[in-house]
Structure 1
Amino acid sequence: MFARARSPVRISFSGGGTDLTHYFVANDGGAVINATIKMYAHATLRRRSDPSIRIYSHDFRRTVEADNLAELGTDGDLALIKSVVRLIKPTYGFELEVSADFPVGSGLGGSAVVSSAIIGCFNEFRGDQWDRHEIAEMAFQAERLMLNIPGGWQDQYATVFGGFNHMEFFSDQNTIVPLRLDPNIIAELEESLVLCYTGSGRDSGAIHRDQKAQHETSDAVAAAAKQKEVTRHIRRHLLRGQLLECGRLIDEAWHAKRKLSSKISSDEIDAIYDFAKQHGAVGGKLLGAGGGGYFLFFVRPFERYQLIAALEQQGHRCSRIMFEENGLRTWKSRFPARPA
């Protein structure tokens, strides 16, 4: 018997940067709106009868082996996965394989997605299982605290809970409020959005460190306040199915986000955005911390394939979006595997 898990990535509509601890503690809270889509991290775990450990990442094509947990280091290859395992402290040996449907540095919350899938696998072998809040906070701890990688809170909650969520962050609590959208609104939104890969990953930690250094400047404070204001408006328009207004607000959110750090955009990224606007995009934003990864564009009916064709002629890979209503999914598999 072995355990499997898959956890979805998220796209964010607005509010990114206000989920950083230094921001919401100093500025009366932060707020974001995001949704999970059908793109996943996958993990498979098998317990061993001895204490030895084998971890394999298909994406990095790296294997880490140790005779026991005490010998599993915290740095070097697969540092994030090792950090998650050391946080869990399993009392048995195991084999763990991890893979992802998305590239490294995608801006889709990939580190949190991978961490959550791994925690979910180990949770299948527990009698006293962790709940979703605990899993999200463990994923945050493994990446943000144990590895000291700067970043916000939204990714961990989004991938574990799944669906459309309005999240608020305060010094004493975080609240996750599901948005119950009409299925036709969701279908229309799927037909109105385009994902465009810029072809470049980015170091989100460096961008978040720069945001922290800049967060008290007047421009950054005003930009973050604008992000929260836009988040409130997008929530209202989403629930009412007023999607064109959402597209215009996403454009506002992007222009506000660019002011949080000079590292979020670049001449190349600005050129992609301007090109998309010239070929039918109502609005859009770079997902994640910025600096590269995926653009999310909103487009009117009859103009979607025109936009996709134009972007692909420029060498950018585009894909459609299908929303995922479920978050982290875990299960035990009885599929016969080769003996360990």
Structure 2
Amino acid sequence: MSTAPMRISIAGGGTDLPEYYRHGPTSVLALTVDRFVHVALADEPDAALGALPDPPGGLAHVVAPAAAGEHAYVTAAGELLGVGGGWHLAIGSQVRPGSGLGGSGAFSVALLDILARADGRELSPADLAVLAFRLEREVLGRPVGQQDGWAAAIGGAVRIDLAPDGSATACANPALYEVMAQLLGRGLLLFRTADQRDAGRVLAHAPAVDPQRYAQALAAAAETEAAFLSGDVAVIGAALRAHWAAKIAANPHTDHPVCRAITQRSAEVGIHGFKLVGAGGAGHLLIAADPDRRDESVRFLTGLGLVHVPVRSWPHGLLRHDGTAPELEEAVCASA
């Protein structure tokens, strides 16, 4: 079995798209959390399904060899790796698709890893991140960026620096990990909307990137990074407010009715700021709330129909069936 974690996008999200980094270098910060995609492989369906963990509320299904051609990701991954079929694949997760937590990128990393190992190959985290991006962007034609594959492959708090030619360097960010480990569940809360969305459809409505928009995105990413590293929930909330206002102004398809309700009453219930995680449209919201008014904020948000999702920072990237992780080429960084 191969397991890859999902992520919360912290800063620079969107600039991991080629439409941005073709204009110049960009950087993205992400944090993996304890929500996962698992992919198991076996000769028989029961064996594949039995290899999956059984998380509360977990979702699982099996792709039989005869049906592999009907599953776009499985077909594309096999073609990309030059691997034949013949196995039953079991896919499981605690989180439904369209969550905004980078699930498709995590699935791509886990899927590519299990198929490569079935073919006798062990790919590095950097190789898996690059292939995951190629799988979604080039083969399947989805307008996604590089962030999710790198976050899932490397894990923890990670900074991904992208060059105009698409090459990337992903490095661990211990300072960000420490801040997030302290704040998640206290001043930073994760909530789920009742609906999901396709990130590709949201991103398809994004405006064209010109030099001015590129410069604005870089400035916003730097401000958001500094806010999170401050560890001050009020400062983080102000950065999230500014980020969210700019995001919906540029692409109204990122907005959601519940976001407008939160904006109207946030000051009354101790909420400093928020954003929809990922491309937007629906999925999960990251809320910056006054720790002393946490319960008040939670009651207000659940009253809007949102579901509180307790998560913790997760320090690992891809894990293999025996619980080991592929070794990074260097202690704290990987490049491709």
TM-score, normalising length from structure 1? Answer: 0.82
CA–CA distance in structure 2, aligned partners of residues 101 and 46 of structure 1: 21
For 1:338, the equivalent position in structure 2 comes to: none
CA–CA distance in structure 2, aligned partners of residues 110 and 182 of structure 1: 22
In the comparison of the two structures, how many residue pairs are matched? 311
Change (3 A) 1:89 1:275: farther
Alignment of 1:71-150 (within 5 A): 72-73=68-69, 77-91=70-84, 93-125=86-118, 127-150=120-143
The answer to whether structure 1 residue 36 and structure 2 residue 32 are counterparts is yes
For 1:11, the equivalent position in structure 2 comes to: 8
Q: CA deviation at 1:285?
A: 0.7
CA–CA distance in structure 2, aligned partners of residues 46 and 295 of structure 1: 36
CA–CA distance in structure 2, aligned partners of residues 98 and 61 of structure 1: 6
Amino acid at match of 2:194: G
When the two chains are superposed, the root-mean-square deviation of aligned CA atoms in Å is 2.8
For 2:327, the equivalent position in structure 1 comes to: none
Alignment of 1:287-302 (within 5 A): 287-302=277-292
Asked if structure 2 preserves the Cα contact closer than 8 Å seen for 1:62 and 1:78, the reply is no
Asked if structure 2 preserves the Cα contact closer than 8 Å seen for 1:35 and 1:162, the reply is yes
* SS of residue paired to 1:165: strand
Bigger radius of gyration among the two: 1
Q: CA deviation at 1:273?
A: 4.1
Q: CA deviation at 1:127?
A: 4.4
Change (3 A) 1:19 1:244: same
CA–CA distance in structure 2, aligned partners of residues 271 and 84 of structure 1: 41
Amino acid at match of 2:172: P
Amino acid at match of 2:168: N
Q: CA deviation at 1:24?
A: 1.2
Change (3 A) 1:318 1:125: same
Amino acid at match of 1:22: E
For 1:188, the equivalent position in structure 2 comes to: 182
Task: Name the stretch that deviates more: 240-249 or 154-163.
Answer: 240-249
Q: CA deviation at 1:249?
A: 1.9
Q: CA deviation at 1:270?
A: 2.2
Q: 2:202 aligns with which of 204, 207, 227?
A: 207
Amino acid at match of 1:17: G
In the alignment, structure 1 segments of 5+ residues that lack a partner are 334-340
Q: CA deviation at 1:126?
A: 5.0
For 2:246, the equivalent position in structure 1 comes to: 256
* SS of residue paired to 1:181: helix
Deviations 1:118-173 (A, max 9, x none): 12223434544210010011111111111101111101101110001122211232
For 1:336, the equivalent position in structure 2 comes to: none
Percent identity between the two aligned chains: 26
